[in-house]
Structure 1
Amino acid sequence: MLKKLDDNSIDFIITSPPYADNRKKTYVGVPIKEYVPWFLPISLELKRVLKSDGSFILNIKERTVDGERGTYVLELILEMRKQGWLWTEEYIWHKRNTFPGKWPNRFRDAWERCLHFTKQKKFKMYQDEVMVPMGSWAEKRLKNLSKTDKKRDESKVLSGFGKNVSNWLDRKTAYPTNVLHMATECSNVNHSAAFPVSLPEWFIRLFTKEGDIVLDPFMGSGTTAIAAINLNRQFLGSEKNTKYYKHALERIKEIGRESLKNKTKNMQNKKQSTMTLWQE
């Protein structure tokens, strides 16, 4: 599917590929030792189709084998940098509803990586679209400002991260952290490893504008498609598993198209979002 796309044609890519040796009954499974060489041809194609100012979010997490955390994700990052990718940032998805359990040498896994790759240092990023409320701390902290709060004061350790606290007076919102607190979704979308719609929605708002093209090469149950439709973006995707592919089309028909129909009624002089999906 990727080879059918033109160079520099995609505004934003977000995907969660099958993790190494996970869900073998569904996706056959990629052995840990083979994961990096398996993914590199894919990441190279993604780099080709992504626009120069676009972003790529890779949701992935190492698994534990024989009591030791794997390193294939770290190895993949290093190899992708050799391809010319910039590892710009790492966001953490905190899964608020992870199921309790007990292990002899660790605690339950409640987070996953969302690795941010770009092709250049300057890229599209709309930070104001993901602002969050200031929170209750602001009322107390900003009530009585000291002299040092009213100027850019250097930190005691000379880190270069000095700040002017008074700049936040009368502000209702602030920029978020790089930790995203979102619950998982599984049973309601007929997929064993679905991320919530809110996850791709957050990144789509951050890195794209209406009408931009969003790509998910491992579509699963179509969650990224739904997020793109909800935000009036165009969408491209592919899915190898026939069951998930058909279910994604059903979700788009039942949820996505209805949502798009309702939104376009109130929109004037704006493009209607489109969806294109492939099955291998």
Structure 2
Amino acid sequence: MLGEGIVHGDAAELLPRLPEASVDLFFTSPPYADARAYSRIHPDHYVDWFLPYAKEMLAATTETGSMIINIKNRVANRGPLRGQRHPYVYQLVLALQDMGWRWIETYIWAKPNAVPGKFGPRTKDSFEYVYHFAKGGRPYFDLDAVRVPYKADAAEIARRRQDANGRRTTEAGFGRDRTKTYLRGGADPGNVVSVAQTYNQHRGVAHTAAMPEGLAEFFIRCASPADGLVVDPFAGSGTTVVVGRRYGRRALGFELHEHFATEARRRLAADIATDPPAVLHAIGQ
């Protein structure tokens, strides 16, 4: 399957073929509830639809591996919740945690050029969620790979290096010596990742919900090791696989719809890179 890169088929049938504890990172944007003509999943049934995939991914993930999901909630268009935000995304997060996935972090994908829409008494949608789950207690995570330039000047950095009590350890078992972060070449980014939508489905990518390459780049760089195995079970136009291989990962994607799989293979062969990178911010740095 790695040789093929993009495998045309149902992830429900292909995920069980992955060796147990072999995948370093599942990075995917699964079909959103009731969002696209090619995949109509009622939000009331979304959790039940997704959990069998999550179970197979959990078995295939290494002890230090992760599953990262980009997903968006929506306004219900029928039923008792019509006109309200449907809670299926939050229900899914809790169900995954109950399954045994460890909920590590919630990221916000900020879209600075989001288009207006007819959303009723609310502003336009300009962000989506990205949830990081892990199999074990110490998932691989390379913060150095995504550091950002310091906002503080050299004098302020020198002053902070004089802090003799820089270690901060939480009761959850995590912590960092803040005096040492200035030796790492950059500041810690925040959990808000700004990536412009390029609407590249209108520029040669034959998919109505193509993921920006900058979003995949950020998470592949920090949440998977060099030469690690990265899998996208809902590959779409192949962004995860294209970006993963560009950064030296062994990347693989499954795609149910043949015309999307064909387009994804074309992108993979050409290593198409037309999207801008993610813009990272270090709040308060």
| Partner of residue 46, structure 2 | 35
Give the drift of 1:209: 2.2
SS at match of 2:58: helix
When structure 1 is superposed on structure 2, of 110-119 and 200-209 the one drifting more is 200-209
Deviations, residues 141-161 of structure 1 (Å, cap 9, x unaligned): 828959xx845489xxxxxxx
Return 5+ residue gaps in structure 2 as ranges: 1-13, 77-81, 168-174, 273-285
Return 5+ residue gaps in structure 1 as ranges: 155-161, 257-280
Give the drift of 1:167: 5.9
| Partner of residue 99, structure 1 | 115
SS at match of 1:22: coil
Separation in 2 of the partners of 1:219 and 1:207?
A: 18
Separation in 1 of the partners of 2:139 and 2:114?
A: 34
| Partner of residue 197, structure 1 | 213
Letter in 2 for 1:224: T
Separation in 2 of the partners of 1:4 and 1:166?
A: 46
SS at match of 1:133: coil
Residue 103 and residue 200 in structure 1: after superposition, are their counterparts in 2 closer, same or farther (change >3 A)? closer
Question: Does 2:19 match 1:6?
Answer: yes
Separation in 1 of the partners of 2:158 and 2:240?
A: 45
| Partner of residue 273, structure 1 | none
Question: Does 2:239 match 1:223?
Answer: yes
Separation in 1 of the partners of 2:16 and 2:56?
A: 7
Deviations, residues 151-195 of structure 1 (Å, cap 9, x unaligned): 5489xxxxxxx9998767687511100110101233232221111
| Partner of residue 80, structure 1 | 96
Normalised TM-score (structure 1): 0.79
Two-structure CA RMSD over aligned residues (Å): 2.7
Q: Is the 8 A contact 2:112 2:126 kept in 1?
A: yes
Separation in 2 of the partners of 1:82 and 1:168?
A: 35
Residue 99 and residue 2 in structure 1: after superposition, are their counterparts in 2 closer, same or farther (change >3 A)? same
Q: Is the 8 A contact 2:166 2:179 kept in 1?
A: no
Question: Does 2:66 match 1:59?
Answer: no
When structure 1 is superposed on structure 2, of 93-102 and 202-211 the one drifting more is 93-102
Question: Does 2:35 match 1:19?
Answer: no
State, as a whole percentage, how many aligned pairs show the same letter: 36
Separation in 1 of the partners of 2:141 and 2:176?
A: 23
Separation in 1 of the partners of 2:250 and 2:270?
A: 17
1:168-247 equivalent positions in 2, closer than 5 A: 172-186=185-199, 187-188=202-203, 189-247=205-263
Question: Larger RCO: Structure 1 or Structure 2 (Cα < 8 Å, ≥ 6 residues apart)?
Answer: 2
Q: Is the 8 A contact 2:101 2:133 kept in 1?
A: yes
| Partner of residue 123, structure 1 | 139
Q: Is the 8 A contact 1:151 1:165 kept in 2?
A: no
| Partner of residue 3, structure 2 | none
Separation in 2 of the partners of 1:209 and 1:168?
A: 21
Normalised TM-score (structure 2): 0.78
| Partner of residue 142, structure 1 | 156
Separation in 1 of the partners of 2:91 and 2:144?
A: 33
Residue 152 and residue 30 in structure 1: after superposition, are their counterparts in 2 closer, same or farther (change >3 A)? same
Which has the larger share of helix? 1
Give the drift of 1:44: 0.4
Q: Is the 8 A contact 2:144 2:184 kept in 1?
A: no
